[in-house]
Structure 1
Amino acid sequence: MKSFAATFPRAFLLALTLVLPLALSMSADRGLAGEVESAYSKIRLEACAVASPPSEEGTDGGSWICPGYQDIPVRVAEGDLRMFVSFGPQAGDEIAAVQTFPNFNTINETLEWRLRGGVPFATILRWFLDAPDGGRPDEVLVVTQLGAGVTCHVAYVDARANGNANALARQAADDLAGSHDCNQMPRVIGRPGVLAR
């Protein structure tokens, strides 16, 4: 019986020994690039740069540029007792810059960034919505996709109606961010709770 080496030309075997390690290395790199993880930053307005001061009439609370993960700009604005949060060098021009809720609202200071291969592709931020009856504020996790010209809300999760709200928000970020059409309404994930009103 002929040996394996005798069956194939030497040139083919040489090419195989050179190409196979390279192919395996490229496959490993693609695997690393696909890993998804979280990083966190804080939104502390007192530490942010004022982009526009509050209006004298009091209807516009102003806007701030805060440092985010890898120094990605985070634009926070307040108007008519509602918050707006957007991201990137042109954050004020992104759709996220005009997205908020009908209820008066505020935001949490902890911002979660979803990273794929170390590159941020989405954020998750908890918003507190004033309850119509003046009771305990409702809580909604807002998932925002990142990208020049496509930074917008992609999903909402009622944090009180869903015991696994953080996991749902992360899954929504991983599944929807990067492919969501900003002309479409954000998806409601899990039990709608306050989002059904």
Structure 2
Amino acid sequence: MKYLLSSVICMFAFAGIAFAQYTSIYTSTKTSACRTISSNPDEAGSYEGECSGAGGYKIRLIEGDIRQTINVITPAKKKFELNFWAFYGGFSYVGEKIEWRMKGKVPVAMIVRYNVAGSDDSQKSTSYLMVSKVGAKESCVTDVIMPGSKQNEEARIAADKASTMPCKSLD
């Protein structure tokens, strides 16, 4: 009986490790929370800032011609360009926070709100969630979640699978 109980306890302990839950950490992309690298407010303006990420990662927030995108900088200082602005041509801006999906203490994906002005009416924008896998060897957009009542939940599900997904094609 003692051995059976020990076996059951071990089985549940290892099952818990095998099915480790993903958790979230949030970081800011607000200009006040980032270090300005360069800024040119003339005409359409340009800006580049470096923001803290999770697990030693950093984010480069880049703006040019009233469009924004981000680059991921790994702890080893390798840069991955996510090229959000290549997905949608309209004026755009990145949301003020990034949700990092963590497996243990390691970031494996991130979710970024990306607001794009309409082509017919720049006062109306569409708010997408850009899901990207994050890693030392590859970081790229894997999913774009369209607006909807379950947008955040869909983005988290996609982020938790992102490490096994291919990079999203721009075709």
Q: Same fold (TM over 0.5)?
A: yes
8 Å contact from structure 1 (residues 142, 157) kept in 2: yes
Per-residue deviation at 1:67?
1.0
8 Å contact from structure 1 (residues 95, 150) kept in 2: no
Deviation per CA, 1:43-89: give whole Å up to 9, x if none: 11123112233386x56612111112244211110122211112223
1:62 corresponds to 2:50: no
- Note closer, same or farther for the CA distance 1:76–1:69 as it changes in structure 2 (3 Å cut): same
Which amino acid is 2:38 matched to? S
- Aligned-pair identity (%): 24
Q: Which runs of 5+ in 1 are unaligned?
A: 1-15, 187-197
State the partner residue of 2:140.
Answer: 152
State the partner residue of 1:35.
Answer: 21
1:95 corresponds to 2:81: yes
8 Å contact from structure 1 (residues 74, 85) kept in 2: yes
- Note closer, same or farther for the CA distance 1:95–1:180 as it changes in structure 2 (3 Å cut): farther
Deviation per CA, 1:6-40: give whole Å up to 9, x if none: xxxxxxxxxx9xxx69x7597257336x2212121
State the partner residue of 2:169.
Answer: 185
8 Å contact from structure 2 (residues 51, 60) kept in 1: yes
Which amino acid is 1:88 matched to? I
Q: CA RMSD of the aligned region, Å?
A: 3.0
Between the aligned partners of 2:137 and 2:56, the Cα distance in structure 1 is 19
Between the aligned partners of 2:157 and 2:12, the Cα distance in structure 1 is 28
Computing the radius of gyration from Cα coordinates, the structure with the larger value is 1
SS at 2:18's partner residue?
helix
Q: Which runs of 5+ in 2 are unaligned?
A: none
SS at 1:150's partner residue?
coil
Q: When you count strand as a share of all residues, which structure comes out higher?
A: 2
8 Å contact from structure 2 (residues 100, 111) kept in 1: yes
1:170 corresponds to 2:125: no
Q: When you count helix as a share of all residues, which structure comes out higher?
A: 1
State the partner residue of 2:92.
Answer: 105
SS at 2:154's partner residue?
helix
- Note closer, same or farther for the CA distance 1:55–1:150 as it changes in structure 2 (3 Å cut): farther
TM-score by length of 1: 0.69
